[in-house]
């Protein structure tokens, strides 16, 4: 695991982080405001981390029975272990996002190790920008 010491996210940071400081307006020009509420009545968003896994078929059945879709944040190595569950999410119409290859704490990694976490999960950084 990475080193958590000295890690902080000040509220005035250009890469504001809602879960830490409730920041929704990035200070960097050109970045849109984060979605923090939806004015549409009776709207709910689901996001599920760290899948897929062996319990997901029952979960997908539940979502289908409820007529609901979700966003799944998959770990690349889990997809290798549970490929049919990952394929089902796509075929059922859920949104699938990359959650690194093995879910390591990124800020504690060397640049090479961080790149490996992203490379093998087909992550494409904005503007192809990576910190060297």
Residue-wise DSSP of 58-121: HHHHHHHHHT---EEEE-HHHHHH-HHHHHHHHHTT-EEEE--SS---GGGS-HHHHHHHHHTT
User: Do 17 and 76 fall within a single domain?
Assistant: no
For the segment 52-80, what is each residue's pLDDT rounded down to a tens digit? 998 989 999 999 999 999 988 899 999 99
| Per-residue pLDDT at 105 | 80
Query: For residue 13, how far is the Cα from the chain centroid?
Result: 20
User: Do 50 and 26 fall within a single domain?
Assistant: no
CATH of residue 94: 3.20.20.370
Distant-in-sequence, close-in-space partners of 33: CB < 8 Å, separation ≥ 6: 24, 25, 26
Could you give phi then psi for residue 72, rounded to 5 degrees?
-105, 130
Residue 5 lies in a domain: no
Residue 23 lies in a domain: yes
What total number of domains does the chain contain? 2
User: Do 26 and 60 fall within a single domain?
Assistant: no
User: Do 104 and 60 fall within a single domain?
Assistant: yes
pTM of the entire predicted model: 0.62
Residue 115 structural domain? 44-128
User: Do 32 and 48 fall within a single domain?
Assistant: no
């Amino acid at each position: 695991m990475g080193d958590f010491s000295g890690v902080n996210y000040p509220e005035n940071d250009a890469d504001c982080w809602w879960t830490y400081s409730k920041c929704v307006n990035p200070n960097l020009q050109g970045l849109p405001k984060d979605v923090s509420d939806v004015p549409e009545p009776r709207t709910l968003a689901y996001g599920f981390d760290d899948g897929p896994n062996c319990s997901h078929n029952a979960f997908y059945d539940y979502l289908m029975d409820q007529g609901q879709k979700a966003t799944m944040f998959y770990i690349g190595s889990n997809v290798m272990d549970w490929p049919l569950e990952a394929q089902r999410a796509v075929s059922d119409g859920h949104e699938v996002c990359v959650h690194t290859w093995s879910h390591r704490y990124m800020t504690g990694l060397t640049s090479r190790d961080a790149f490996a976490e992203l490379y093998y999960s087909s992550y494409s950084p904005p503007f192809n920008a990576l910190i060297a």
